[in-house]
Structure 1
Amino acid sequence: MKRIAIACYFTLLLAPFAQAELTVAGDQPCDFTRPHFQVSRLPINNKMKPDRPMHADLSTFADEAWILPIRSSHLSPSQITSRALNMPGLRPFFLVGDDSQSLTWLRQRAAELQEMGAAGLAVEVADNEALARIRAAAPGITILPVNGNDIATRLQIEHYPILITTTSLEQ
């Protein structure tokens, strides 16, 4: 009786180590599924990089009148204090409103913003005419109306116009 108990004990102890090796379909070169996998694979071209930043003009796809007016209660137009950021991989973007300070800032920096491929978020917009004025100040740059409260909270900012890049918050 004692021998049977010891034998059962060792069997249970060694059972996890006695499992058969798993084989996944597609692991073996002679696997019957190999031709099916090869047909469904699409070529990936990661080597192609544009010679200049690409801009998507999303504003032409929909009428934004239904979303206006946009009010961002956590943000207001004013001067900001620049500070460093460490956000690798972040595409540059900026926040503006339909106020005179934002429109002047956009006109002065439009070429630079376009060159770096920055996208714009209009965080204070009263109506379609105000959105048109903002876009006219920086032609060729995508500027979409959005509420900026979440961005303001996450980046701990209170004012605009502001440019956010991988390395800094600046005006």
Structure 2
Amino acid sequence: MKRISLTCYLILLLAPFAQPELSVAEDQPSDVTRPHFQVSRPPINNKIQPDRVMHADLSTFADEAWILPVRSFHLSPGQIMSRALSMPGLRPFVLVGDDPQSLAWLRQRATELQEMGAAGLAVEVADNEALARIRAAAPGITILPVNGNDIATRLQIEHYPVLITATSLEQ
């Protein structure tokens, strides 16, 4: 086993030296090849401030009708057990649907969710009207239609509505 590992290590170590050198046929390209050697570079924009945080509300840029309906087969409306999480740096977000329980939950917690800067993922939405009802229940919160199956699997949850923060999962 060590022989194979050592062999692989040596191959990786020596690989850069095994490549042939590039040879140049001519220093100056001819008129025929000149267009192929011209390099066009995009302009450099030095006005971007890398330390500035930008938040995009994607719901205002595109018509979301093409993605609807959204169905998350691993999730359904219901009660969840609150539990602690350890996901440092995670921005708070909610999983909701267009069911009465989710709409009531959003109305009840809208101010709290907005104050903490939570985003919303509508994981069960039939059409544009249902998405509009969800957004109306929590004005000021970005809510996007998204399939929640992967999130449900990774966080081991089966029900929504749910608030997910860096430190907890709660209803």
Above 0.5 in TM-score? yes
> How far off is 1:57 after superposition?
2.3
> How far off is 1:56 after superposition?
3.4
* CA distance, structure 2, for counterparts of residue 134 and residue 40 of structure 1: 39
Q: For the Cα contact (< 8 Å) 1:121–1:144, is it kept in 2?
A: yes
* CA distance, structure 2, for counterparts of residue 115 and residue 156 of structure 1: 27
Which residue of the partner structure matches residue 170 of structure 1? Answer: 170
State yes or no: 1:98 paired with 2:123. no
Q: For the Cα contact (< 8 Å) 1:55–1:117, is it kept in 2?
A: no
* CA distance, structure 2, for counterparts of residue 43 and residue 132 of structure 1: 34
Which residue of the partner structure matches residue 36 of structure 1? Answer: none
> How far off is 1:60 after superposition?
1.0
* CA distance, structure 1, for counterparts of residue 78 and residue 65 of structure 2: 27
Query: For residues 44-71 of structure 1, what are the alpha-carbon distances to aligned partners after superposition, in whole Å with 9 as ceiling and x for unaligned?
Result: 564x68xxxx863221111110100000
Q: For the Cα contact (< 8 Å) 1:57–1:141, is it kept in 2?
A: no
Structure 1 gap segments, 5+ residues each: 1-38
SS in 2 for 1:65: helix
Aligned residues: 128
* CA distance, structure 2, for counterparts of residue 56 and residue 76 of structure 1: 28
* CA distance, structure 2, for counterparts of residue 111 and residue 56 of structure 1: 20
* CA distance, structure 1, for counterparts of residue 113 and residue 126 of structure 2: 24
- TM-score relative to the length of structure 1: 0.70
Q: 1:111 to 1:40 in 2, by over 3 A?
A: closer
Which residue of the partner structure matches residue 130 of structure 1? Answer: 130
- TM-score relative to the length of structure 2: 0.70
Q: 1:107 to 1:147 in 2, by over 3 A?
A: same
* CA distance, structure 2, for counterparts of residue 137 and residue 45 of structure 1: 35
- Runs (4+) of structure 1 moved beyond 2 Å? 39-46, 54-57
Which residue of the partner structure matches residue 7 of structure 1? Answer: none
Which residue of the partner structure matches residue 14 of structure 1? Answer: none
Which residue of the partner structure matches residue 75 of structure 1? Answer: 75
Which residue of the partner structure matches residue 140 of structure 1? Answer: 140
* CA distance, structure 2, for counterparts of residue 40 and residue 68 of structure 1: 37
Q: 1:55 to 1:100 in 2, by over 3 A?
A: farther
Match of 1:154, as an amino acid?
Answer: R
Task: Indicate the percent of aligned positions where both proteins have the same amino acid.
Answer: 84
Q: 1:139 to 1:55 in 2, by over 3 A?
A: farther
Structure 2 gap segments, 5+ residues each: 1-43
Query: For residues 3-32 of structure 1, what are the alpha-carbon distances to aligned partners after superposition, in whole Å with 9 as ceiling and x for unaligned?
Result: xxxxxxxxxxxxxxxxxxxxxxxxxxxxxx
Q: For the Cα contact (< 8 Å) 1:77–1:159, is it kept in 2?
A: yes
> How far off is 1:97 after superposition?
0.1
**Rg: which structure is higher?**
1
